[in-house]
């Protein structure tokens, strides 16, 4: 019979043989798989029995399977370790976040406790000072400051409703601070010793000699200007100046400040000096108003 070559790659006369080949190949594959399964099962059963030596087929089977077993073990171990590491990192990250939050809370509480401790110490000091003095003192708190360069004032939290009036002296535990300038019902403005405005002046005495001097606001760098009352009065660096008995508004013997610089005229007869106030005006928080001279 004549064989006709087609584009599909087989002869028309031998078509039935080509159709049977895939079926035959599938059967051979099934037979091979079945035999392999039986061999593997037999080897597993045989290897589970107690014996002194392994047969060569078992050794060959183990030799062939060893790379696959090692690879599977490595992959399984790697995946397990990686998963555990990821879980541990997640737990550590959460723990770190909690610790940072806790540290922040404790830092805030510690700062608050430090502030309360400092305030408690200041209040104890103020109470001790009030108990030690014979003056009638009224405690007040600074609530505002004047930021201007041409004035030096602070605002306190008490006013006329508490019996405060204009020109009442204001002091700290260190010394004189100033006097009340403007008084409102619930607040008052304190003009400090260093305020440069005209009229902000007072008399004082040198503690060393009890000689009279005059103090004016407006000295350089927050100081006060001091001038002797007479040419015979000589100022010295380190002299402490106190309020005098002749002062119009202030009780006597309150500490005003200390002489830190003395200037003399060319002929040496006249002097003026700069006084550093005893009260630290940059740290005023609690003050006392003296209700009676």
Q: Which residue has the higher pLDDT, 55 or 116?
A: 116
The span from the CA of 178 to the CA of 199, in Å, is 13
Mean pLDDT of the region 9-19: 50
- Checking if the pLDDT of 161 tops 90, the result is yes
Model pLDDT, residue 83? 83
Q: How confident is the model at residue 8 (pLDDT cuts 50, 70, 90)?
A: very low
For 19, list phi and psi in degrees, rounded to 5. Answer: -70, -35
Helix, coil or strand: residue 192: strand
- Checking if the pLDDT of 51 tops 60, the result is no
Token pair, residue 291, equals: 């209700």
* Cβ atoms within 10 Å of 217's Cβ, excluding its own: 24
Sequence length of the chain is 293
Angle at 137 between CA 277 and CA 279, to 5 degrees: 15
Mean pLDDT of the region 139-155: 84
Strand partners, 227: 214
- Checking if the pLDDT of 246 tops 50, the result is yes
- Checking if the pLDDT of 4 tops 50, the result is no
Superfamily grouping for domain 137-290 = Rod shape-determining protein MreC, domain 1 (2.40.10.340)
Helix, coil or strand: residue 73: helix
Q: How confident is the model at residue 239 (pLDDT cuts 50, 70, 90)?
A: very high
The span from the CA of 223 to the CA of 259, in Å, is 10
Query: Could you tell me which residues come within 8 angstroms of residue 125 by beta carbon, excluding any fewer than 6 positions away?
Result: 173
Helix axes 56-132, 15-47, angle to 10 degrees: 70
The span from the CA of 243 to the CA of 229, in Å, is 14
**Residue entry with tokens 């503690």:** 207
Q: How confident is the model at residue 45 (pLDDT cuts 50, 70, 90)?
A: low
| Cβ–Cβ under 8 Å, residues 190 and 177 | yes
Lowest-confidence segment of 22-36, 112-126, 146-160, 244-258 by average pLDDT: 112-126
Model pLDDT, residue 7? 43
Q: Which residue has the higher pLDDT, 17 or 109?
A: 109
Mean pLDDT of the region 86-113: 78
| Cβ–Cβ under 8 Å, residues 292 and 276 | no
The span from the CA of 213 to the CA of 151, in Å, is 23
Closest CA to 208 of 168, 258, 281, 252: 258
Q: Which residue has the higher pLDDT, 74 or 200?
A: 200
Token pair, residue 38, equals: 């039986």
Q: Where in the chain are the domains?
A: 137-290
Token pair, residue 36, equals: 């392999």
Lowest-confidence segment of 72-76, 174-178, 228-232 by average pLDDT: 72-76
Q: How confident is the model at residue 208 (pLDDT cuts 50, 70, 90)?
A: very high
Mean pLDDT of the region 103-111: 73
Alpha helix stretches (DSSP H) within the chain: 15-47, 56-132
Q: How confident is the model at residue 5 (pLDDT cuts 50, 70, 90)?
A: very low
Q: How confident is the model at residue 23 (pLDDT cuts 50, 70, 90)?
A: low
| Cβ–Cβ under 8 Å, residues 187 and 143 | yes
| Cβ–Cβ under 8 Å, residues 43 and 58 | yes
DSSP character for 217? S
Query: Could you tell me which residues come within 8 angstroms of residue 244 by beta carbon, excluding any fewer than 6 positions away?
Result: 203, 204, 205, 212, 252
This prediction's pTM: 0.57
Mean pLDDT of the region 102-113: 73
Q: How are beta strands 286-290 and 240-243 bridged, if at all?
A: unpaired
Q: Which residue has the higher pLDDT, 46 or 199?
A: 199
Mean pLDDT of the region 104-128: 67
- Checking if the pLDDT of 11 tops 50, the result is no
Mean pLDDT of the region 268-293: 88
- Checking if the pLDDT of 143 tops 70, the result is yes
């Amino acid at each position: 019979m004549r064989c006709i070559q087609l584009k599909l790659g087989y002869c028309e006369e031998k078509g039935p043989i080509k159709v049977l080949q895939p079926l035959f190949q599938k059967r051979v594959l099934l037979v091979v798989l079945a035999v392999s399964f039986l061999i593997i099962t037999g080897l597993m059963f045989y290897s589970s029995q107690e014996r002194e030596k392994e047969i060569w087929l078992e050794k060959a089977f183990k030799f062939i399977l060893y790379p696959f077993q090692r690879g599977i073990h490595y992959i399984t171990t790697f995946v397990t370790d990686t998963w555990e590491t990821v879980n541990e990192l997640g737990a550590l990250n959460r723990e770190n976040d909690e610790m940072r939050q806790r540290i922040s809370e404790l830092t805030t509480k510690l700062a608050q406790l430090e502030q309360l401790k400092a305030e408690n110490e200041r209040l104890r000091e103020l109470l001790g000072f009030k108990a030690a003095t014979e003056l009638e003192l009224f405690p007040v708190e600074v609530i505002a400051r004047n930021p201007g360069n041409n004035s030096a004032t602070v605002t306190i939290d008490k006013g006329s409703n508490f019996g405060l009036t204009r020109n009442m002296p204001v002091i700290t535990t260190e010394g004189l601070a100033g006097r009340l300038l403007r008084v409102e019902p619930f607040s008052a403005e304190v003009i400090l010793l260093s305020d440069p405005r005209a009229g902000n002046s007072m008399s004082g005495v040198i503690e060393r000699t009890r000689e009279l001097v005059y103090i004016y606001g407006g000295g350089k760098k927050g100081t006060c200007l001091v001038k002797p009352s007479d040419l015979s009065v000589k100022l010295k660096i380190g002299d402490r100046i106190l309020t005098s008995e002749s002062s119009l508004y202030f009780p006597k013997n309150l500490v005003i400040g200390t002489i830190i610089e003395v200037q003399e005229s060319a002929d040496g007869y006249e002097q003026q000096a700069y006084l550093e106030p005893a009260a630290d005006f940059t740290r005023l928080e609690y003050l006392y108003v003296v209700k009676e001279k």
